[in-house]
Chains A and B, each alone.
Chain A
Amino acid sequence: MSPVVEMSIAAGRAALVWMIPLALLPLMIWAERKVSAYMHDRTGPNRAQILGIRAGGVVHTLADVLKLVMKEDITPTHVHRFYFLLAPFIAMMVSLMTFAVIPFADVLHLGDNAIRMQALHLNVGVLWIFSIASFGVFGIIFAGYGANNKYSILGGLRASAQMISYELSLSLSILGLIMMAGTLDLNEIVRMQGEFFQLGPIPIPKWGVLLQPLGAVIFMTAVIAETNRNPFDLPEAESEIVGYHVEYSSIKFALFFMAEYVNITVASALVATLFFGGWQVPFLDTETLIANAQQVVLGMLGGMALVSALLIIPTRKWNKTLARLYPNDLRKNEANFWAIVLLLHIVGALGGIGFFVANPITGTSAHVTAAVIQFLTFMGKLLFFGFAFVWVRWTLPRFRYDQLMGLGWKGMLPLALLNLFVTAALVLLVQ
């Protein structure tokens, strides 16, 4: 491969890694608002509009960004300027860098070239994640300390104590999985999860969550604590101390805000990769996918056409509601707009089916198709766990500080150790 091609592929992968969390940001923020609203029996954001298109409140996220960017950026005079300015950038950078080792599809073979679908291929990917993620606490400590404000420092202190306590359980909980997989390479771990073990006649995929149920529960709990989300959001605790970013405004606050959601994306990606098969399509390994690329694509396009057709039905009822609610403004056309979009979807899907029937997918394009399908599977899992984060946040109340520490040190750490020893013994026995 010529160096130019290699460079551009590397750049593409890096761009993808930056794009995924950043592109998911508005979606995550929207989900946070809308899901929380629906869980509380509210309607949530539904006012901001572009030419009457409200997209269920997504436009609010755009308005939010505009607001945050245009607000005055205040640096209070009593802060430690260096730490104060550095902190948001550390928070954001760290969250984005962790994503680099997550594999989003199997190794793509194009002719003789093997392209890794990872921005950074390390055979110690798991270690990279832990080492980079533990830098995240610096962003918060710097913010808390630099703001020179008692509430910030409280938030910073809580954050450092919490993150260090839970990092232990976090690392210990996946040691068991690493022992079973025998590698620290995330792509290999995902490949391992594509294998099966037989339960009677039923083949069951070797997903991490089935191999290591206890480890999975501990990992998911600890990862919520690591991202400082409810029920472990004591560093922020907006109802008590507002937390480490209380002095920040405008885009610097937005960076913290975004870092939180990028963290969620990364954490969901990790949970999906380590415990839920990563890019593995259940029961379809890469070779099967490549062999049957044609059928899978046709099935997906057909499904898309069908779902779009089914979704058109409720838009008709919605149209009547809109006409009643907003008789004299642009919003009354929104249902029709989405109906047209869905119609275009159907047309596109049917056109695609026609195209692929005429030109069957073989050879290189089959490889690419398989990678795309795996990527979509990975994104689906990622989105589900992103939703789960929101879901957990709006279900559970916040822990008290002593409960938090008690759970971390007296509950999860011994359990993680127990899990580790039992796994080690089992692995030895099997060998």
Chain B
Amino acid sequence: MALKVASPKLSFLERIYVAEVFRGLGVTFRHLAKNVVNQSDMPTVQFPEQPKPLAVRHRSRHRLTVRENGQPKCVACMCCETACPARCIHIVAEESDEVWIEKRCKTFEIDLLRCVFCGYCVEACPEDAIRMDTDEVILVGERREDFIVGREFLMFGKGDDWKTGRPAEVAVPRPGDPEAPPATPDEDAGWRDGAPRERIKIPAGWRANSKEV
């Protein structure tokens, strides 16, 4: 069924356009003149130089909280990895040294380019081990690998450290580096830490339109 749009009745002056056009031109010119004369009144914020206050409940880059003894609080329960809708968290668990704690994360990687900053990982964590309160909202890197951040950085890193100070155990041999492993057809094998690793596989047909990734 066609949609009926009620158009307002126009007076003769409005129907011949000319007067109305000039009225409109007046409006835009007023704005132009005001902004040329008084540039500092413009609502635009020159962002990186003029920081904007972040909302109290904003979500910025993740961090892993740390115990007093310098160990990650994370117990490698994989809740966040499971909850993550973008599937950008990859955790490898290991046995913990501490008596009362069974496991901890050996590596904990977040691919910030895939992350949608939904905060589900924070919601899912039973240990308050992951938070999104670093106030870092500008994430800059030169290649995709730069955005895969590792455990040490998530625990102790700040700002730009992730570009230079990436922990050794998650160093990614970049394509073309001499020590890069030979490319394998299976992208999961030898994924980053050198060892073949399992990733969660969604059973086919589990969700409509889902594809294996």
Which A residues are within 8 Å of any B CB, using their own CB?
Answer: 35, 38-43, 217, 321, 325-326, 391-392, 394-396, 407, 411
Query: B43–A391 contact, CB under 8 A?
Result: no
Query: A391–B42 contact, CB under 8 A?
Result: no
Where chain B touches its partner, the secondary structure class is helix
CB nearest neighbor in A for B46:
A325
Query: A41–B25 contact, CB under 8 A?
Result: no
Query: A41–B35 contact, CB under 8 A?
Result: yes
Minimum C-beta distance from A9 to chain B (A): 41
B29 at the interface (CB under 8 A from A): yes
Residue among B27, B31, B49 making CB contact with A326, cutoff 8 Å? B49
Asked whether A42 and B18 contact (CB < 8 A) given A394-B28, A395-B24, the answer is no
Asked whether A325 and B50 contact (CB < 8 A) given A43-B42, A396-B24, the answer is yes
Q: Using Cβ atoms and an 8 Å threshold, which residues of chain A touch B140?
A: none
Q: Give complex CA distance A407, B40 in Å.
A: 42
B11 at the interface (CB under 8 A from A): no
B36 at the interface (CB under 8 A from A): yes
A-B contact count (CB 8 A): 44
B44 at the interface (CB under 8 A from A): yes
Q: Give complex CA distance A43, B40 in Å.
A: 10
B21 at the interface (CB under 8 A from A): yes
Q: Using Cβ atoms and an 8 Å threshold, which residues of chain B touch A396?
A: 21, 24
Q: Using Cβ atoms and an 8 Å threshold, which residues of chain B touch A35?
A: 32
Q: Using Cβ atoms and an 8 Å threshold, which residues of chain B touch A39?
A: 28-29, 31-32, 35
Q: Give complex CA distance A325, B42 in Å.
A: 15
Q: Can you give 8 contacting A-B residue pairs, CB < 8 Å?
A: A35-B32, A39-B31, A43-B39, A43-B46, A321-B40, A325-B46, A326-B49, A391-B28
B 49-60 binary contact with A (CB < 8 Å = 1; else 0):
110000000000
Q: Using Cβ atoms and an 8 Å threshold, which residues of chain B touch A395?
A: 21, 24-25, 27-28
Query: A38–B36 contact, CB under 8 A?
Result: yes
Minimum C-beta distance from B47 to chain A (A): 11
Q: Give complex CA distance A217, B19 in Å.
A: 12
Q: Using Cβ atoms and an 8 Å threshold, which residues of chain A touch B40?
A: 321
Asked whether A42 and B42 contact (CB < 8 A) given A217-B18, A391-B29, A395-B28, the answer is yes
Q: Using Cβ atoms and an 8 Å threshold, which residues of chain B touch A38?
A: 31-32, 35-36
Q: Give complex CA distance A407, B21 in Å.
A: 14
Q: Which of B16, B40, B42 has its CB near the most chain A CB atoms (within 10 A)?
A: B42
Q: Give complex CA distance A39, B34 in Å.
A: 9
Q: Give complex CA distance A326, B29 in Å.
A: 30
Known: A41-B35, A326-B49, A395-B28. 14 other contacts (CB 8 A): A38-B31, A39-B31, A41-B43, A41-B44, A42-B42, A43-B39, A43-B42, A391-B25, A391-B28, A392-B25, A395-B21, A395-B25, A396-B21, A396-B24
- The 7 residue pairs across chains A and B that have the minimum distance between CB atoms: A38-B35, A43-B44, A39-B28, A395-B28, A395-B24, A38-B32, A325-B49
Q: Using Cβ atoms and an 8 Å threshold, which residues of chain A touch B39?
A: 43
Minimum C-beta distance from A407 to chain B (A): 8
Query: A41–B28 contact, CB under 8 A?
Result: no
CB nearest neighbor in B for A217:
B18
Query: A40–B49 contact, CB under 8 A?
Result: no
Q: Using Cβ atoms and an 8 Å threshold, which residues of chain A touch B17?
A: 407
Q: Using Cβ atoms and an 8 Å threshold, which residues of chain B touch A43?
A: 39, 42, 44, 46
Q: Using Cβ atoms and an 8 Å threshold, which residues of chain B touch A394?
A: 28
Q: Using Cβ atoms and an 8 Å threshold, which residues of chain B touch A42?
A: 42, 44
Q: Give complex CA distance A321, B24 in Å.
A: 33
Minimum C-beta distance from A396 to chain B (A): 6
Q: Give complex CA distance A392, B27 in Å.
A: 11
CB nearest neighbor in A for B30:
A39
CB nearest neighbor in B for A329:
B49
Q: Using Cβ atoms and an 8 Å threshold, which residues of chain B touch A41?
A: 31, 35, 42-44
